[in-house]
Amino acid sequence: MTKLKIPPNCDVTYGFNLVEKEPGRTVWEWIPDERWENPAGVVQGGSVSAFADTTMASTVVTALDGRKALVFTAEAKVSYLRAIKSGVRLTCEGVIVQIGNRLAFAEATVRDPEERAVAKASSTWVISERA
């Protein structure tokens, strides 16, 4: 049997916080600090991608309807729409586009405090049954 670590180490390290969840939708918050800045002084895109990935993963899990399964990213795309300064509270809403027995499709929107979209993401997830 696979032992799951909840919350995962990466979420704890970054400081991602789940604030809302319902079947097929989650909302997370994150205040990136200077550790996540690139040399230009803005939050590094890979960190924003990790935030969206965590959001979409949890969204897929909420849509499993009680099934015991592991989910993992098969493909992901992130579009960065605005530069993000550290110290700003970001929210990320994930939604299910479609879910089947073996694959799921999810989207996420990262927003700044003014509710402007700063990044959009989409992903394909493999659903693997577990004992």
- For residue 67, the enclosing domain spans 9-129
Q: Tell me, what's the pLDDT at 100? A: 96
- One-character DSSP codes across 69-112: EEEEEEEEEEEE-S---TT--EEEEEEEEEE-SSEEEEEEEEE-
- Is 4 a member of any domain? no
CATH of the domain at 60: 3.10.129.10
How many CA atoms, within 13 angstroms, populate the side-chain half-sphere of residue 118?
24
Task: Fill in the amino acid letter for 94.
Answer: G
Please give the model's pTM, rounded to 2 decimal places. Answer: 0.93
Q: Tell me, what's the pLDDT at 122? A: 98
How far apart CA 123 and CA 117 sit, in angstroms, is: 17
Nearest CA-CA partner of 122 in 89, 85, 74 = 74
Q: Report how many domains make up the chain.
A: 1
Q: What digits encode the pLDDT tens for the residues 98-124?
A: 999 999 999 999 999 999 999 999 999
pLDDT-derived band at 9, boundaries 50, 70, 90: confident
- Is 102 a member of any domain? yes
pLDDT above 60 (res 2): no
